[in-house]
A and B are shown apart, each in its own frame.
Chain A
Amino acid sequence: MTPPVHHLVIAGRDAPLWLVAATMARALAPSGLRVTAVELPSRVTPADLHASLPALEALHNQLRLDERRLLSMVGGAYTLGWNFTDTGGAVPPFLHPFGAFGSPIAGQDFFPHWLRARRQGLALPLEDFSLTAVAARQGRLFIPDSESERYGRSDYGYHLPALAYAGVLKDLARQAGVAILSTGSLSPLRDAQTGLITALSLEGGGRVEGDFFLDVTGPDALLIGGPGNGMERWGFPATRVLTARGPRLVSLPPYAEVRGFADGWLSLRPAQAGTFITAVWKAGPGEADLLRRLPSLCGCVPQEAIVRSSSPGLRARAWDGNCVALGAAAVRLDPLHDLDLLSVQQGLVHLLTHFPRTGRFAAARAEYNRLTRGHFTHLRDFQALHYHLARHPGSFWDAARAMPLSGDLFHRIALFRARGDLAPWEEDDLPADSWRAFMEGHGLLPDSHSPGIDLLPPDDLKAHLRAMLGFVKAQVQRQPAHDAYLRGG
């Protein structure tokens, strides 16, 4: 009555397909799972880049992917965060580091102590207390050790040129025992009674049967999509995304630069294989003019440019019947914070935990859909926070500021404004300091801090802060320059 799940068929393309296939095969082959990947034609260009958040390192470790070798193979780079600027200089810049701000004081979070110090006249921003941010400003990496871990988290992400990264992952998938088929197109075949997918029909009459299916086909959602399981659209201000590549910078900054301008924003992500450019705006009559101005906005001539549409939203049910969608087939995020691979990874983590042994999986499916909806809507909230608070002048940003907020986000902002606290959420994948970085960066300062913080004598607080600044300075000076580290020095 409930047939076993022996054969998993994964349809998709590019890096997300191979990341999913390699991970599933490696984790579940011992459980008797056979994995077939059905590869559709690539849609990435040499100008496409996957920028990752720190979480990806753990997945790479599971796949036994060595980061230095990977970056050298793909022409990538490290990134310690995002530096937000305004092209007109109208808004002060801020750096969002992937590491933590400061060190706990007397077992309490650093942040409320910093708030108190600010109220008492301290003029230093949060980033001055971050090992990662200070290293980034000096063009250095920050490689954590036990001493720095005691101070605070120092994480980093990667800039991974998409074509080459997909190639590396495809090799990993093959080594993990994934059977690979290629096709120009595909469509699912369903059991007339149950509606479950029984096989994929491939171009040229081929057919691959399976017990369970993953849809990694991106926005096409060739398996999961259909009447009754559409996308819930989220109202983000940007509808156009351009990707392009510029020349490699002589010295590679260890972070991405995100520039706001009147009609949108663009980001420059340095890597060994060039400078990867993303520009984002709202479709309209000014587009042609914007494209003409792009070289001056970027400070270089963008090559290999391609424009795609952006329409963020969430699939009603990421797991429907015997099919689970991962990546853009399940959730489409705004390009701003490079959260695409993170969303794939979150889906994978929960799928591995709940992957069915037989056709009896109603509770697992409900749980998966509940969890991923929680994670993804909170990623959406994280992005909406930026658009809501950003202070760039211009009509694009006026629309952004007017974006409707979810109840959760509205409350989180209100509480932060009141007390500097982040209302805890059960599903929340970004560290508290990431939220704080944006709140502070956009000029939102809380009205108060928790009164227990005032128990620390003011002179002790000053001494703690001084000691932290000294530690940060000394630690950062010992760190390698990004360029030298990439060269293997």
Chain B
Amino acid sequence: MRSDETQSAQRLRVVIVGGGTAGWMMAAGLSRLLPADQYDLTLIESDEIGTVGVGEATLPHIKQFNDRLGIDEVAFMRATGATIKLGIEFVGWNQPTDRYIHPFGAFGEPWVGVDFQHHWARARLAGLDVGSLQDYCYAIALCRAHAFELPSADPGSIRSSYSYAYHFDAGLYAGFLRDWAVPRGVRRIEGRIINIHRDGETGHVSHLTLKSGECVEGDFFVDCSGFRSLLVGGTLDVPWCDWRDWLPCDRALAVPSDRVEPLTPFTRATARQAGWTWRIPLQHRTGNGYVFSSRYCGEDEAHDTLMAALDGPAQAEPRLLRFAAGRRARAWEGNCLAVGLASGFLEPLESTSIFLIQAALFDLLELMPRLGGIDPRLSAEFNRLFEIHYDRVRDFLVLHYMANSRHGQPLWDHVRAMPLPDSLMHKLELFREGAAAPDYKLGLFSRDSWLSVFEGQGVMPDGYARLADRLPLPDLEKRLSALRARIREGVAGVPGHADFIKHHGAASETTAQGRAA
């Protein structure tokens, strides 16, 4: 047996700068998925600095994160006041009275080897009364019924055609992960960083000085310092790619309100004059916020819009956040890796913030430096994947804005007319021409996600894949109506979302009250 000292000398020292969701997700993930005899993990956070508490709504990938860490779902839901999320309801994004759901579930199923949307588009173009694509998704039917149960394990059943995510209190989640990670070997230092020192030769960050005078040395730094991007944006001065031309919203006002019934198993995003408001139901409260563009709306007006939108009494005064859409040119520079808000920001419209942290964790695990120096071949790959993740999410977000019919509202007139990324133009044209939708191997979003937003925003196909014609039209009509019936019948008898929570991860009365206070 080696002594503790030699073990420590042979370990790569990883220093995570900043607590919050990003810091503690990275700390928890690295402590569970890296060998403890090779890595020494330290996290520095300051009680003086608040956390942004990135989004309270997630994507289904969060379940993979929790599962890989071995986190018990019920314990996690109880500790974070979590509810179930089956998708996002978009209200007023095309015409002011429209609503549609972007579900975490499939639209229909492939027939004769051809994706469902082609059959739907064909029937529609043939003049059949087939309704909306929304009518062919089981997850959407669950949303409308405010119902939920765990997906069926039988892949042939319509009740297996969805996945789910959570709404949770991100502050409580960070605390939950801290309580999980610290006993597993993450050293937590409370303190404020006042100086960042670089090696004169390599330019790498060598150590940090804290206000207390303590000096923290490291071989590899994970910058989870939020918008300030202390190391990667600050010390190393990695350039910023500004996406405000495509995503002009740059402010958010956030406020919690009392929980109301029914407990919706989805997030709601409602388009407003100068942006949109979110509504995120938790067990103990409802999270609300107004994301807006300061070019088109003052803070007072935003305040009034937000407060008027609440469906329960406000629990506090709204809090203002400032941001800009974009990302760093590189997330990994030298021996520093920016994660979360330190690496980029995309508005929470599609709940991608926590997903992007998780993607960074899993990419890093593959490419993690080992003792003996930082290998630029590994950081090159990380940065390549980082670009793919951010750029693909960006295109999807822009789609929600550019395809709107909110004429006469300056923000919406602007985003309808703005020049688009070529990559997005191409996707729009492909869908309009032949109902083809993106189907990536890497990154977000899936084909079903694109389909929901295309249709929801009024982007409709004028054609479809000719291979779909192999199904005779009368057969198609029968199959479509049978599918609608299967969905209707499947949803009947599924317990309500609130009932599900009561038996699966409900926070106890006292803790919920304590949190709400």
Contact = CB atoms under 8 A, between A and B. Distances in A.
B154 to A, nearest CB: 19
A415 B380 contact: yes
Interface string A400-438: 000000000001001101110101101000000000000
Nearest to A414: B377
A273 to B, nearest CB: 34
Interface string B429-453: 1101110100011100000000000
A123 interface: no
Contact of A353 (B33, B365, B465): B465
Interface in A358-372: 358, 360-364, 366-367
A452 B33 contact: yes
A354 interface: yes
A364 B433 contact: yes
Given A27-B467, A31-B467, A415-B380, A360 B367 contact: no
B465 to A, nearest CB: 6
Contact of A363 (B370, B426, B466): B426
B320 interface: no
Interface string A211-243: 000000000000000000000000000000000
Given A414-B380, A451-B38, A454-B35, A366 B470 contact: no
Contacts of B150: none
Main secondary structure of the interface of A (DSSP, over half): helix
A363 B380 contact: no
Contacts of B470: 27, 30-31
A63 interface: no
Interface in A366-413: 366-367, 411
Contacts of A451: 34-35, 38-39, 365, 368, 370
Given A354-B434, A414-B377, A450-B366, A424 B441 contact: yes
Nearest to B434: A364
Nearest to B33: A452
B426 A366 contact: yes
A235 B434 CA distance: 37
Interface in B348-389: 365-368, 370, 375, 377-378, 380-381, 384
Nearest to B432: A363
A124 interface: no
Q: Which interface residue of A355, A361, A418 has the most chain B CB atoms within 10 A?
A: A418
Contacts of B370: 448, 451
A28 interface: yes
B317 interface: no
A313 B274 CA distance: 52
B463 interface: yes
Contacts of B469: 28, 30-32
Of residues A360, A417, A452, which shows the largest number of chain B Cβ atoms within 10 Å of its Cβ? A452
Contacts of B432: 363
Given A363-B432, A364-B430, A426-B440, A452 B466 contact: no
A300 interface: no
Interface string A9-45: 0000000000000000001101111000000000000
A435 to B, nearest CB: 15
Contacts of A190: none
Interface string B455-494: 0000000110111011000000000000000000000000
Given A411-B384, A414-B380, A451-B38, A424 B442 contact: yes
Interface string A317-361: 000000000000000000000000000000000001111111011
Interface string B62-101: 0000000000000000000000000000000000000000
Nearest to B115: A353
A186 B426 CA distance: 36
A452 B34 contact: yes
B363 to A, nearest CB: 10
A455 interface: yes
Contacts of B39: 451
Interface in A441-463: 447-448, 450-452, 454-455
B434 A423 contact: no
Interface string B403-434: 00000000000000000000000100110111
Given A426-B440, A450-B368, A411 B381 contact: yes
A360 B464 CA distance: 12
Contacts of B367: 419, 421, 450
A357 B463 contact: yes
Nearest to B34: A451
Nearest to A358: B463
Contact of B366 (A31, A419, A454, A455): A419
Nearest to B465: A353
A448 B367 CA distance: 10
A353 B470 CA distance: 13
Contacts of A414: 377, 380
Contacts of A417: 377
Contacts of B434: 354, 356-357, 363-364
B26 to A, nearest CB: 14
Nearest to A367: B430
B436 A367 contact: yes
Nearest to B38: A451
Report which residue of B39, B378, B433 has the largest number of chain A beta carbons within 10 angstroms of its beta carbon: B433
A421 B365 CA distance: 12
Interface in B158-197: none
B426 A423 contact: no
Nearest to A107: B68
A357 B435 CA distance: 12
Interface of B: 33-35, 38-39, 365-368, 370, 375, 377-378, 380-381, 384, 426, 429-430, 432-434, 436, 440-442, 462-463, 465-467, 469-470
Given A363-B433, A450-B366, 18 more contacts: A355-B465, A363-B430, A363-B432, A364-B433, A364-B434, A367-B436, A411-B384, A418-B378, A419-B367, A419-B378, A421-B367, A424-B441, A424-B442, A426-B441, A450-B368, A451-B38, A452-B368, A455-B34
Shortest 5 CB-CB contacts between residues of A and residues of B: A31-B469, A363-B429, A418-B377, A31-B466, A363-B433
28 contacts: A27-B467, A30-B470, A31-B467, A32-B469, A33-B466, A354-B434, A355-B465, A355-B467, A357-B463, A358-B463, A360-B433, A360-B462, A360-B463, A363-B429, A363-B430, A363-B433, A363-B436, A364-B430, A364-B434, A367-B436, A411-B381, A415-B381, A419-B366, A424-B442, A426-B442, A451-B34, A451-B365, A452-B34
